[in-house]
Structure 1
Amino acid sequence: MEVRLKKWQRFVLIAVLVLTTVFVAVASNQILNDNVFSWWWCVPALGWSAIATSTACFLTRAGSRDPDAGVNASTGGRYVALCGGGVVVVGALTVVSYIAVAEAMPEPEPVLARHPTCVSGSICLWPERGFGGDVWMWTPGADADGPIPHRLRDRVGSFEAQATGCFFDSESKETRPINIRDWSGRYIEKFGRQADTVKAKC
């Protein structure tokens, strides 16, 4: 006989199947991202799968109005459970396949950001990261060795060199040689937070 589900029963079954699919998808995603098999993610997914199957059987039995339709209702329940399980498996496999394909695709090569070029024979310093703020230019041979301006002292945000030279920290006596075409857009995170002097040679 034909087994029919009431409207509210269909909504409950669909909601349970959707939740099951989401839990399986999240578990698969978590395992793939962490590359670690975690039972903490698998247990909820398996639990929701069992809930979906039980709910399908129960609602299919409750949906039948024929008291003599126990066997047929049970058979119908198995069909609904199988369909629900298929939805869960397809949903999980779709997510897994999507993630696998996305991870297999090569990442685009990063485009090197353009940076300002200092005047030939000079070294340019900026107070901010990414060459921001007012630039200060120093030319070895033409300018004497000595302290850099106060606004840049111990806070060289970035620099670009078209000449050789040397950064010097008068407190620790540490030095950093500068070569032609050296540059850094985040020098404050390196020796830029210590440099207070610039010289022609280390």
Structure 2
Amino acid sequence: MRARHLRTLTVAGAVALVSLVSTTPAQALPTCPANAICLWRYQDGTGDLYVWRGGYVNLPSKFVDHVGSFRANRTGAFIDWATGKDCRPVRVGDYASNYSGRFGSKIDAVGDNC
């Protein structure tokens, strides 16, 4: 009887611990102005910020191949010129809190479309 009670307490404690760990909210990206695409140097919207509002723009050197996160409040395109034009369309509502291991490590420019 005592062993069963101890097992019940152990299982209840493990369930409570898992519940606490899994309910930790994900880091939310900071807001971005309307009709803009925001690029941050590091993940989770940290580090230097670049706000793009339209037209073709070569990114400032510290952002070239170093975009850690982004939030899009307008359509646009991320462009890489390393081996010819490689382009990724971006739509309103698109975001990535950790983009550096993906196309964020290739971006050279931002434009209105591909």
Contact 2:27 2:44 in 1 (8 A): no
Distance 1:191 1:99 in 2: 45
Is contact 2:69-2:99 (8 Å) kept?
yes
1:135 equivalent in structure 2: 49
Residue 126 (1) aligns with residue 43 (2): no
Contact 2:57 2:111 (C-alpha < 8 Å) held by counterparts: yes
What's the C-alpha RMSD, in Å, of the aligned pairs?
A: 2.6
Aligned counterparts, 1:171-182, within 5 A: 171-172=82-83, 173-182=85-94
Provide TM-score, normalisation by structure 1: 0.47
Unmatched runs of 5 consecutive residues or more in structure 2: none
Match of 1:201 in 2: 113
TM-score relative to the length of structure 2? 0.77
Aligned residues of 2:68 and 2:100 also touching (Cα < 8 A) = yes
Q: Distance in 2 between matches of 1:101 and 1:135?
A: 45
Identity of aligned residues (%): 28
**Secondary structure of 1:186's match?**
coil
The residue number in structure 2 matching 1:186 is: 98
Distance 1:175 1:110, change over 3 A: farther
Which protein has greater RCO, CA pairs closer than 8 Å, 6+ apart? 2
Which structure dedicates a bigger proportion of its chain to strand?
Answer: 2
One-letter amino acid matched to 1:137:
V
